[in-house]
Amino acid sequence: MSLVRDRAGASFEERVGAALKVIHTKRLAEETEQRKALQAAVEKGRSRPTSAPVRPSRLSPNQQAMLQERNKKMKEQDEAYKKQAEDGFYDG
């Protein structure tokens, strides 16, 4: 009986078991590398400042002037639209 077994080789279950051990070993090695890379990324992120510095008020944009400019443009566009509506949108 051992002669037949020697010629036939390992059973299906034995071959699958051996393959699973190899796959499991590779997977553990990959997971270990991934954990190390993740830990390094987390440490790098934590070592950096988490907020931007506050901008001085003298460097901030003049919001009131921006609002006035936008209102002026909106008024001009509104007037242009009304004129275009009075003249007719289409010459057809």
Q: What is the pLDDT along the chain (92 residues), one digit of tens a residue?
A: 577 677 778 888 999 999 999 999 999 999 999 999 999 999 998 898 877 778 888 888 899 999 999 999 999 999 999 998 888 766 54
pLDDT computed for residue 26 by the predictor: 97
Q: How do the domains of the chain map onto residue ranges?
A: 2-48+63-87
pLDDT computed for residue 11 by the predictor: 87
86 token code pair: 């009075």
User: What is the C-alpha to C-alpha distance for residues 1 and 37, in angstroms, rounded to an integer?
Assistant: 52
pLDDT computed for residue 6 by the predictor: 72
User: What is the C-alpha to C-alpha distance for residues 79 and 74, in angstroms, rounded to an integer?
Assistant: 9
pLDDT computed for residue 90 by the predictor: 62
37 token code pair: 């890379």
